[in-house]
Amino acid sequence: MIAVDANGADEGAATVAAGARAAGVEVMIYGPAAEIGDGPDVVDAPDWITNEEEPVRAVRSRPQASVVQAARAVAEGRAQAVVSPGSTGALLAASMLHIKRMRGVHRPAVALLLPVPGKPTLMLDVGANVDVRPEHLVQFAYLGAAFMEAVHGVERPRVGLLNIGEEPTKGTEDHVAAYERLAAGPLEFVGNVEGADLVAGAADVVVTDGFTGNVALKTMEGTAKTVATAIGDAIRSGVISSLGGLLIRRRVGALRRELDPNTTGGAILLGLRGVAVVAHGSSSAEGIANAVRLARRAVDERMIERTAEKLRAAGVLRSAPAASVGDRHG
Amino acid sequence: MIAVDANGADEGAATVAAGARAAGVEVMIYGPAAEIGDGPDVVDAPDWITNEEEPVRAVRSRPQASVVQAARAVAEGRAQAVVSPGSTGALLAASMLHIKRMRGVHRPAVALLLPVPGKPTLMLDVGANVDVRPEHLVQFAYLGAAFMEAVHGVERPRVGLLNIGEEPTKGTEDHVAAYERLAAGPLEFVGNVEGADLVAGAADVVVTDGFTGNVALKTMEGTAKTVATAIGDAIRSGVISSLGGLLIRRRVGALRRELDPNTTGGAILLGLRGVAVVAHGSSSAEGIANAVRLARRAVDERMIERTAEKLRAAGVLRSAPAASVGDRHG
């Protein structure tokens, strides 16, 4: 069972419900029955937490909010994963409160599959943690590698540390320390990667703090849009024939969609005791269905258990034996 | 007189010399006479500091290196600015040792004019300072604004702080503190800008730490290249007529050049007591000439004095009255 929060999407709750039902897996939809309609797969939950609210406070004070109810369903074993097209902060806060962090994990991270044509690259963190210590970066590496292995079938994912040069001494002291620990561990660590490598498929997993990750992600989106727009303008200005223009315009449009992170099915929260997926707020029904399928796949492939095992084997957990980590979903 | 370091360019010292001489201003060239030839405008200086060397140590131990000689010419009043196509780190180290920091400036920054079509945007720092405090970010803002005003004739440049959201509370504690000080000062502060704003012309000056700036810059370059290449591939695959393909291919090539930071004449070091410009290492003779003209313009427009005055008036200098700042070049 996947718990789907129907609130917070640009296209409205009915579109989210339609997408969730089209995913081909068992779902429970938390949203306004007035918009979705009644049904055995609907829990009426009109209240929701917007992007503008302070997430931790909102989640604590409004247990009836749809994202909180959906997260609680996972915590109480009524569902195995939660999907929300609403505020990432609210889903993270609700997940931290109810699903909880994986034992020994410092901080969960928001991971996003970058739309690199033909070379999906997972970047994390992209926003949850603006200040990180080396041990956080190291855990992010294992969280990301476990996800790519379990959910995307990448054997021995290549992990890179986002930095400003290839040499192990580059970056801040924290980067140097993280580099050392990653190089000494059992991961397939390819060393430092740079901004240009993000779109070049140089690594399967790129590790960074949430501040740099967010800036890099938005810079990538903005640049792709600017270049595609400039080329579209050149075409419309009539430098080529109308037939040629039509064809190339279609190709530019397709490429821009290909490079649009909205099409990759959303972000995933890693380091929790359950699966939580953020569907992009502007998702179509198909986008929601993709996010639900991603969540289902993470459950079926035992991502949580495999992540816990990976962290334990590498000796990067915060403290205490990790034997019980993820047991709830075992 | 502009002191030009002829070593370190991909195209060789002779190309640098040709470019420097083509700039139309008085130059003194420091490089290997064996390659450049003798002349009244040449100082034989075959030794140079590569990108691979630790810059501070290399600069201190090799006073005969061309970049060190060129920086010393500025420090001793024989030249008014230095231009180098070699290692940015070496030019910065040579400038710190000989030209010295502007009084009251915490740290010089490397500033780069981003190739935003029609909306030149200065980003700083792009690599010199990976760890910064709020007072550093605040000084970067005034250094960048003074440069855009003096050298690019932008009246009241709009200054933005690179961050992960618009709200004043976004980012690290250091960002929040820098935001507060910038908002309280006399600058035209437009608040936080995000990654996507870098290429959208949302500000004339974008302030950030050297780590984030470097990652954003390289992400921008990599993404522009990937998008342009993908479009070029689509064209070559024959989806449009050969005439149309030729025309659009030219347009894509022009756009890629437009978005290439190498064409903007290089980076400039701000916060020194003299003008220091980094010509991109892959510059053509014309690129070198542009860098030399940029340096000349910064001298003619009294950039150093205007910067010192701006910092003093805003009360953001580290200590002591700034009356003597920049006097050497007054």
| pLDDT tens-digit series, residues A90-125 | 999 999 999 999 999 999 999 998 877 778 899 999
Identify whether the C-beta of residue A56 lies closer than 8 Å to the C-beta of residue A92: no
What is the reported pLDDT for B325?
A: 44
Task: Compare CB distances from A227 to B197, B224, B244 and report the shortest one's residue.
Answer: B224
Interface probe with B: pick from A53, A161, A227, A248, most Cβ of B within 10 Å: A227
Q: Does A4 have pLDDT greater than 50?
A: yes
pLDDT (average), residues B19-45 = 96
The model's confidence at residue B225, banded by pLDDT at 50, 70 and 90, is: confident
Separation CA B247–CA B266 (nearest Å):
29
Is B212 within 8 Å of A212 when comparing Cβ atoms? yes
Minimal-distance CA residue of chain B relative to A226 = B199
Is A215 within 8 Å of B162 when comparing Cβ atoms? yes
Assess: ipTM above 0.85.
yes
What is the reported pLDDT for A321?
A: 46
Q: What is the pTM of this model?
A: 0.89
Q: Does A283 have pLDDT greater than 90?
A: no
Minimal-distance CA residue of chain B relative to A131 = B172
CA distance A31 to chain B (A): 28
Separation CA B13–CA B222 (nearest Å):
28
Is A240 within 8 Å of B255 when comparing Cβ atoms? no
Contacts of B61 (CB under 8 A, 6+ apart): none
What is the reported pLDDT for A242?
A: 57
Is A196 within 8 Å of B240 when comparing Cβ atoms? no
Q: Chains A and B: how many Cβ contacts under 8 Å? A: 171
A141 burial class (0-12, 13-18, 19+ CB within 10 angstroms)? buried
What is the reported pLDDT for A322?
A: 43
Tokens of A93: 């806060």
| Residues of chain B neighbouring A216 (CB-CB closer than 8 A) | 195, 215-216, 219
CA distance A78 to chain B (A): 35
DSSP line for A221-273: HHHHHHHHHHHHHHHHTTSS-HHHHHHHHHHHHHHHHHT-GGGGT-EEEESBS
Query: Strand, coil or helix: what is A159?
Result: strand
The Cα-based distances of A146 to A162, A198, B106 in angstroms read: 18, 19, 43
The model's confidence at residue B234, banded by pLDDT at 50, 70 and 90, is: low
Tokens of B10: 């991909």
Interface probe with A: pick from B129, B192, B211, B221, most Cβ of A within 10 Å: B211
CA distance A216 to chain B (A): 6
**pLDDT-wise least confident of A102-116, A298-312, B237-251:** B237-251
User: Which domains does chain A possess?
Assistant: 1-105+271-330 (3.40.718.10)
Separation CA A146–CA A271 (nearest Å):
10
Looking from the CA of B188 toward its CB, the CA atoms found within 13 Å total 14
